[in-house]
Amino acid sequence: MLMTASQPRVIRRGVSLSHLTVWSGTGGPYAVPVSSVAVEFRGRLGHGSCYGLLAGELLAEPGPTVSFTYGPPAELPKVAHDVAIAGLEPAYEGAVERAARRAQAALRITAACHGEIGSSQVVFEQLTAVLIALLTQSAYRDEDLWEVWDTAWRR
C-alpha cells in the first residue's frame, strides 16, 4: 500500500476552490480502516458535482471487481451547504464499478459518503480513478492526481 496512517494532505488546484484531501487510517477528517486510503473531493459550492468521499484498498484477486464493505461511520463529515450521507446510492456504486472496470482494478470500498445535493456519478468515477492511482503508484505529484481527475472528467 502506498500510504500509512497519516495527517491529511490537502491538494489544491491553483486558485480554484476545488481540492482533494488524501489520508489513511484515523489521520483524516473521517476515520477509515488503517489499511485503507481515503480521498475526498470538495469543489465549487452550488455545482452539481461538488462533493464525494471514497476510501478503499486493493484486493488480492484479479480485477476488475469491487466489494462494498463499509458500515455506518461514527461521525459524518461537515459539508458546507449540503448534507453528507454515509454510503453510496446505487448509481454512484455503478460509477465506482465502471471506473474499476476501466482500470482493471480489484477494490474493496471501506468508506464512502455523498452529498445530498452535491454529488454525481462523475464525481465517483473520478474519485475511484484517483483512489486507484494512490493505491497503485509508488510516488505521485499533486499535478499527477489532478491529471487523473481531469482524465476521468473528460470520459
DSSP, res 116 = T
pLDDT of residue 155: 63
Domains annotated for the chain, with CATH where assigned, are 9-153 (3.30.230)
pTM (two decimals): 0.86
pLDDT of residue 139: 67
Helix 90-103 vs helix 121-136: crossing angle, to nearest 10: 40
Q: Which one, of 79, 114, 76, 72, lies nearest residue 94 by Cα?
A: 114
Q: Using CA atoms of 36, 98, 122, 11 in order, give the dihedral in degrees to the nearest 10.
A: 30
pLDDT of residue 107: 95
pLDDT of residue 9: 74
- List per-residue pLDDT tens for the chain, 155 residues long: 344 446 677 777 765 678 888 888 777 777 788 888 999 888 776 666 778 999 999 998 887 899 999 876 777 777 777 788 889 999 999 999 999 999 999 999 999 998 888 888 999 999 999 999 999 886 678 888 888 888 866 66
